[in-house]
């Protein structure tokens, strides 16, 4: 049932995208307070007022655990999307989340893959491993129609965005916890649209210390 419905929505999106509507691309440059490009930042775009169908996002996602690292580090999951955790390491991993958006925990034996976890509530879900403290990954459960991650240059490209005004939000793991995401208004016109977002980030990720010290 659930798979069927998703398939329908996806189809609809495709149809919509194909429609000869006036649509444009939005390139968002995300920097930190010092102007340096910020990678792995989530940029979301939500139309003001009416809801609009955005770019369809994959509903089934996967988080692999390789070399005691969650891969990918940040992943956007559409609300209602599922994520399966896979253990590609030779050690066990005790995956957990205490995030209000979705709390869970389970142990994955080497080579084991978890049942997909479904995320019904929008928000950031911080995932950790209780065995390996420095393992962390973020699932951004997005409610917005458009959401994407910045590349290494801190550039996020949102394509096929209808010309209109939007509330643009940006999030990054190093954003201060407990603070609302900064939001700014963008108006997408025809042609190439540019926007910049400056994020106030913590200088050091908390676990960076441990990483630096540990020599194993």
Partner 1 sequence: MRFRSRLVLFLIAVLAIVQALTALSVYGFTRRALIAEGKEQLAKSATVFVRQLASVSEHATERVRILALDYALRVAIAERDRQTVLSALRNHGRRAGAARMMLVELDGTIAADTLEQMASAQSFAHSDLLERSTEGSAAIIAANGAAAYLLVAVPVLAPVPIAFIVAYMPLDDALLAQLQELSSLPNAIELAVANGTGGWSVIAASSKYPSLVGEVPRLGTEPPGEADLVEAAGREFLMLTTRLETTDQRTPMVAVLGYPLDEALSPYRPVLLALAGLLALGLVGAIMGAVLIARGVSRPVEILARQVRRIEAGDYTASTPLRQRDEIGELSSAFSTMARAVADREARIQHQARHDPVTGLLNRQSIEALIAARCAARPGEAGALLSLGLERLHEVIKTVGHDLGDNLLKDAAQRLHLSVDTSLIARVSDISLALWLPGADEATAIATAARLIDQFQEPYQEAGLAIDAAAAIGIALYPTHGTAVGALLQHADVALYAALGSEDSISVYNPLADPHRPERLSLMSDLRDALERDELFLAYQPKLALATSRIDGAEALVRWQHVKRGLVPPDSFINLAEQTGNIRRLTRWAIASGVAQAARWADRGLALRVSVNLSVRDLGDPELPRRIGDLMAEHTLAPDAIALEVTESALMGEPDTAIAVLRRLADQGIDLAIDDFGVGQSSFAYLRRLPVRELKIDKAFILKLAQSPEDRTIVRSIVELGHRLGYRVTAEGVEDQAALDFLTQIGCDHAQGFLLARPLAPEAFDHFLTTARWPARDLEAAT
Say if strands 123-129 and 93-97 run parallel, antiparallel, or are unpaired. Answer: antiparallel
What is the CB neighbour count within 10 angstroms for residue 156?
A: 27
CB of 148 to partner 1, least distance (A): 22
- Whole-Å CA distances, 186 to 33, 45, 80, 181, 197: 20, 9, 27, 15, 11
Secondary structure (3-state) at 80: coil
In terms of CB distance, is 28 or 76 closer to partner 1? 76
| CA gap 179, 185 in Å, rounded | 19
Subset of 147-176 contacting partner 1 (CB under 8 A) = 173, 176
Token pair for residue 80? 């209602």
Stretch touching partner 1 by CB under 8 A, among 52-60, 61-69, 181-189, 197-205: 197-205
Site pattern 43..72 for partner 1 (x: CB under 8 A) = ------------------------------
Site pattern 74..113 for partner 1 (x: CB under 8 A) = ----------------------xxxx---x----------
Residues present in the chain in total: 216
In terms of CB distance, is 138 or 166 closer to partner 1? 138
In terms of CB distance, is 9 or 126 closer to partner 1? 126
């Amino acid at each position: 049932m659930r798979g069927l419905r998703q398939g329908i929505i996806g189809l609809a999106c495709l149809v919509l995208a194909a429609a000869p509507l006036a649509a444009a691309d939005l390139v968002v440059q995300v920097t930190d307070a010092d102007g340096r490009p910020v990678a792995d930042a989530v940029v979301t775009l939500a139309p003001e007022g009416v809801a609009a169908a955005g770019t369809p996002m994959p509903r089934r996602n996967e988080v692999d655990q390789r070399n005691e690292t969650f891969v990918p580090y940040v992943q956007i999951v559409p609300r209602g999307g599922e994520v399966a955790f896979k253990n590609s390491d030779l050690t066990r991993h005790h995956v957990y989340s205490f995030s209000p958006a979705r709390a869970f925990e389970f142990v994955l034996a080497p080579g084991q893959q978890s049942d997909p976890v479904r995320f019904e509530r929008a928000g950031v879900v911080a995932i950790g491993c209780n065995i390996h403290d420095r393992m962390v990954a973020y699932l951004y459960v997005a409610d917005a129609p458009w959401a994407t991650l910045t590349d290494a240059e801190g550039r996020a490209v949102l394509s096929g965005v209808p010309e209109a005004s939007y509330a643009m939000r940006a999030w990054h793991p190093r954003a201060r916890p407990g603070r609302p995401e900064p939001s700014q208004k963008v108006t997408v016109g025809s042609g190439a649209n540019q926007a910049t977002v400056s994020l106030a980030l913590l200088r050091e990720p908390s676990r960076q210390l441990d990483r630096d010290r540990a020599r194993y």
